[in-house]
Chains A and B, each alone.
Chain A
């Protein structure tokens, strides 16, 4: 791998320094430069490699690997599975996004307790979280495939409907909903461009990059994390990890942006 921590730090500094100097979004320019330096490398590859090992390793109280986990295309099938989630899983009778599904396999097959899974879903730069590795491995196996998120099952349609309603629900001291920031075209917060996630075109562009390697935090973040942080900006309490509300929001965005080629994990600001 060609990149180094030093290069990342240098770039992060360079790009922060130019932040106010130009009217054009400096973060975009910064990321472009960063991409150039990395060539085809993306630090998410580290996560992918760790995730593949973790996937194949016997672990948990039951000492089994995840290789028989059914991600929707049958036990053990990883390739292409991410491009068809979130989806309805008959064995749990609910709609799950991929992050929730992998955790479900960790619980039911490896015997890891739900409390352990919930303890540290989001890692930090110096301390990664295993689910971020596993998820990066699984999504990378769908790179280049067309997102084909199913909506035939009534519960898949119900999840979309709930997600859409949660997306538009204004609450809290600032009266914000997701739609306040992501409900119109071409809006910005400061210089950060906000996709209109109610529209297919923007939702496509936003969705296919997640999970993403964020240059500003030097680590991979998942869509469950993205929603968590946007609810923080919304000034609301914390959405519970893997909950129906979060899964419904992800389902709403995935179905809205269905049909694009999956390009994740992308480099983002």
Chain B
């Protein structure tokens, strides 16, 4: 970047401007605001250039309404649009019929560790893992955790274990988009990646006072 000698005011103004420019100037083209045509071309490339493999069938390239909205807005929908999407996703959440949301935290820990499932190289017919440690810190013993999502260490210790918190935790894992339209977190229940019993085990991992997450 060029440096010049200028009055402090000009420098301050220029710095402010640089920040704005860096977002969208021609050399650092990182700002991405797709036009409908650009999206259409990308969709066409998806449909043209992929082959089904293992369990990864071609219908996975068909986007749903939520994905369409996130794609059109680079995952930054307007507050109004987000509210509509979140309401729809929330309405589609199915809570367990028996009303019991807490499973077994030990099974939950195993699930959280497993990154298996739904890739074309995974064997079909074996239960999927939760992939949670790929993105979150959970139990303090596990140092190999990712940072795409926030730390969930002490999740239940901080929030308690009330019916409301249980319902929130179950629903968040079932469909993260019900609370955050274009969240990076998958919709594990909505997309049938995890079963009801598995989600209960994960709720226990996060909320059970005996779980290492809350020690």
- Evaluate contact between B60 and A191: CB separation under 8 angstroms: no
Q: Does B24 contact A (CB under 8 A)?
A: no
Select the stretch in A69-77, A120-128, A240-248, A260-268 that faces chain B. A240-248
- Evaluate contact between B184 and A243: CB separation under 8 angstroms: no
The interface residues of chain A lying within 8 Å CB-to-CB of B30 are 198-200, 256
Q: Does A89 contact B (CB under 8 A)?
A: no
Interface residues on chain A, number (Cβ under 8 Å): 47
Q: How far is the CB of B97 from chain A (nearest CB, A)?
A: 24
Q: How far is the CB of B153 from chain A (nearest CB, A)?
A: 14
Q: How far is the CB of A152 from chain B (nearest CB, A)?
A: 13
The interface residues of chain B lying within 8 Å CB-to-CB of A173 are 60, 118, 186, 191-193
The interface residues of chain A lying within 8 Å CB-to-CB of B134 are 189-190
Q: Does A170 contact B (CB under 8 A)?
A: yes
- Evaluate contact between A168 and B67: CB separation under 8 angstroms: no
- Evaluate contact between A174 and B147: CB separation under 8 angstroms: no
Main secondary structure of the interface of B (DSSP, over half): loop
- Evaluate contact between A164 and B32: CB separation under 8 angstroms: yes
The interface residues of chain A lying within 8 Å CB-to-CB of B148 are 180-181, 187-189
- Evaluate contact between B146 and A174: CB separation under 8 angstroms: no
Nearest neighbor of A247 in chain B, beta-carbon distance: B49
- Evaluate contact between A171 and B60: CB separation under 8 angstroms: yes
| Complex-state Cα separation, A179 to B182, whole angstroms | 12
Q: Does B6 contact A (CB under 8 A)?
A: no
Q: Does A166 contact B (CB under 8 A)?
A: yes
The interface residues of chain A lying within 8 Å CB-to-CB of B58 are 237
Q: Does B65 contact A (CB under 8 A)?
A: no
- Evaluate contact between A165 and B67: CB separation under 8 angstroms: no
Nearest neighbor of B148 in chain A, beta-carbon distance: A187
Partner of A174, one of B42, B50, B118: B118
* CB within 8 Å for A236 and B49 given contacts A165-B38, A189-B148: no
Partner of A162, one of B27, B41, B193: B41
- Evaluate contact between B57 and A23: CB separation under 8 angstroms: no
Residues of A at under 8 Å CB distance from B? Answer: 19-20, 22-23, 160-162, 164-166, 168-177, 179-181, 186-192, 198-200, 232-233, 235-240, 243-246, 248, 256
A-B contact pairs, 19 of them (CB 8 A): A162-B38, A162-B42, A164-B32, A165-B41, A168-B34, A168-B71, A170-B63, A173-B193, A174-B118, A174-B186, A174-B193, A175-B67, A175-B70, A189-B134, A232-B120, A236-B61, A237-B51, A237-B56, A243-B49
